Amino acid sequence: MENIENRVKFSDLGLSEKMLAAITKKGYEYPSPVQAGVIPLLLNGDKDIIGQAQTGTGKTASFGIPLLERLDKNAKGVQAMILAPTRELAIQVAEEIKSFALDGVNIQLLYGGQNVRDELQGLKRGPQIVVGTPGRVKDHLIKRRSLNLDNINYFILDEADEMLNIGFKEEIEEIMEHTPKQKKVLLFSATMPRSIQDIVHKYIKDHDTVTIKREEKTNKNITQTCYKVNEGDKFEALCRVIEVEFDFYGIIFCRTKASVDEVASQLMNRGYKVEGIHGDIDQSMREKTLARFKNKSISILVATDVAARGIDVNNLTHVVNYALPDNAETYTHRIGRTGRAGNKGEAISFVSRRDSRMLMYIERLIKQKIEVAKLPKVEQVIEFKKKRLVTNTQELIAANGGEKYIELADELLKLDDAQKVLAAILKESYGNEFCKTHYNMISEAGSPARNESISGQKRLFVAKGKLDNLSPGTLIQFIEREVGSKLGDIGQIEILREFSFINVTDDDAELILAVFKQKNTKKPLIVEAKQKDGGGSRGGSRGGYRGGSRD
């Protein structure tokens, strides 16, 4: 094991003047521990190398810099093969290596979603380095026979544990079988599970090991908070968190592709500048989405862990764990995307009852308790929105941002008193957004079943939901219009995808049930909700509304 001295300089590592100039141009003076350990071994040693260091420690430069030093720039044919788990990481690796090559180097990227014809043309030009994902590299190597690795000198596995987690073990081994025995193998991994050890025993013989001791698990610039909410309340909780921030710029992590699509779509419907990325989205679209996110054309990115690999943005204000990851290590990787370059950042996690054990594992790993906070109340959200409207209006006035509307403003002000005109415009633009009834109620995780009636009130089931563009405000208006009178005290309202719940007084409930029973005796649109839904599935039998499709 290498004992690394943190304050060694790049100039102490035996690099050429040309390379030191490239490093200086990038503004680097001191190598990271993994760079200080790997660079001399790759420059001067003959053994294979295993590097164990967590993500974000500078592994790419640790092999990219000495690799450029040892390449024969005049020789044709592939000299180095680098495998990465995802398209984004492959692109990042290639760009990082190119940034150190002042006199240029021919690097070819190979990854799924890219135009194969472009890749074939690139391979014909004789690249010195190929960087790719295992699936596409195997395709060129074995199926198309357009890639020849017979004479490579270096074979590098980057983020090896992630490649095996995704399921690339078979592809890696097939690619390895098509490389010469006399080559230098470098394997980099954050962890060393049994699957990695199997690869080591099979393909790596005499080797040096550089193990970098894990530093503090979380950045002190990152404030970590969690909100304990029921699974079905996570989206409403997310909206409240976003709505009380002036400049929310962050990544929302979901566990599945379907969840990414759903959350991104719901946020879009709420008017947020948001897009989602995951493995099923076309690569060119993913790259365009990332570019829009980096230039802040969109302020929210919803992503799976795999799709987010390789995203490098320094000024993110927030990372949100919409669902906690499947392992504690991934949590630290996620939240490490904010609080960079000396900036402050916030890491927010939504924790349902089923997430409690994982939260415990995370706290054990980072060696600290994550603060359990209270969600902003509806009143706080409304007040914040009002303040933001006032602030934004002040800024527009100061910047003469509304000049092209002066003529229209004059015309509108002729209609009535200025205050009434402005109030009417606000009503038209914002609807019920500044009314409490516009918002869904949220209960804390572990609170009593949400479809239970409160004393003096009845819980009613409504066979309409978000698919019908229903909101708490429009639900109240709909009921009042149908029954022909104003409702009294209204309790908790919950708008779900296909149906909803509302708590009303016993007297109002009696009237509502009677009216809707009269309208449809066999299948009323509103019925009394069942007290139990059997096994905890919300809506189970849809609150007693059985059979058939929704009316």
| CATH value at residue 119 | 3.40.50.300
DSSP-assigned letter for residue 84: -
Residue 217 lies in a domain: no
Q: How far apart are CA 39 and CA 106, in angstroms?
A: 21
Assess whether 424 and 473 both reside in one domain.
no
What does the pLDDT read at residue 310? Answer: 62
Residue 4 lies in a domain: no
Assess whether 204 and 287 both reside in one domain.
no
Quick check: helix, strand or coil at residue 511? helix
What does the pLDDT read at residue 65? Answer: 95
Kindly give the residue spans of alpha helices, DSSP state H, lying in 244-377: 257-269, 283-294, 328-335, 356-366
Last residue of a domain, one of 165, 185, 211: 211
Assess whether 387 and 457 both reside in one domain.
no
Quick check: helix, strand or coil at residue 395? helix
The pTM is what?
A: 0.53
Residue 284 lies in a domain: yes
Last residue of a domain, one of 161, 186, 211: 211
Last residue of a domain, one of 338, 357, 376: 376
Angle, CA 197 vertex, CA 193 and CA 199 arms, to 5° = 120
Percent of residues in the chain assigned helix, strand, coil, to nearest 5:
40, 15, 40
pLDDT (tens, 9 = 90+) of the chain, 551 residues, equals: 444 444 688 999 999 999 999 888 877 778 888 999 999 999 998 899 999 887 667 788 999 999 999 998 888 899 999 999 888 788 889 988 998 987 778 999 999 888 999 999 999 999 999 999 999 999 999 999 999 999 999 999 998 988 887 889 999 999 999 999 999 999 998 888 888 888 888 889 899 999 887 655 567 889 999 999 988 889 999 999 999 988 899 999 998 888 999 999 989 988 899 999 987 888 788 889 988 999 999 999 999 887 776 677 878 999 999 999 877 777 888 898 888 777 899 999 999 888 888 888 888 878 889 999 999 888 888 898 889 889 888 988 888 888 888 999 899 999 999 999 998 888 888 877 787 767 777 765 544 444 444 556 788 999 998 888 888 878 888 998 898 888 877 777 888 888 998 988 888 898 999 999 998 888 899 999 876 443 333 333 333 333 333 33
Rama region for 31: left / alpha / beta (φ>0; ψ in -120 to 50; rest): beta
Phi, psi at 178, each rounded to 5°: -100, 20
Assess whether 21 and 119 both reside in one domain.
yes
Closest CA to 34 of 55, 14, 12, 4: 4
What does the pLDDT read at residue 309? Answer: 66
Q: How far apart are CA 483 and CA 363, in angstroms?
A: 52
What does the pLDDT read at residue 331? Answer: 87
Residue 363 lies in a domain: yes
Report how far apart, in Å, the C-alpha atoms of 395 and of each of 302, 391, 419, 532 are.
30, 6, 20, 52
Assess whether 365 and 492 both reside in one domain.
no
**Cβ pair 344, 221 in contact under 8 A:** yes
Residue 113 lies in a domain: yes
Closest CA to 129 of 159, 95, 163, 171: 95
Assess whether 75 and 207 both reside in one domain.
yes
Assess whether 229 and 301 both reside in one domain.
yes
Assess whether 179 and 313 both reside in one domain.
no
Residue 1 lies in a domain: no
Q: Is the dihedral of CA 340, 345, 351, 357 positive or negative?
A: positive
Q: Is the dihedral of CA 130, 133, 134, 139 positive or negative?
A: negative
What does the pLDDT read at residue 108? Answer: 96
User: Which residue segment(s) compose the domain that 431 sits in?
Assistant: 379-435
Assess whether 404 and 429 both reside in one domain.
yes
Q: Which run of H or E residues covers position 128?
A: none
**Cβ pair 230, 447 in contact under 8 A:** yes
CATH number at residue 533: 3.30.70.330
Assess whether 453 and 405 both reside in one domain.
no
Residue 311 lies in a domain: yes
Closest CA to 464 of 477, 445, 453: 477
**Cβ pair 338, 313 in contact under 8 A:** no
Number of domains in the chain: 4
73 C-beta neighbours (distance < 10 Å), count: 12
Residue 473 lies in a domain: yes
Assess whether 388 and 350 both reside in one domain.
no
Assess whether 342 and 410 both reside in one domain.
no
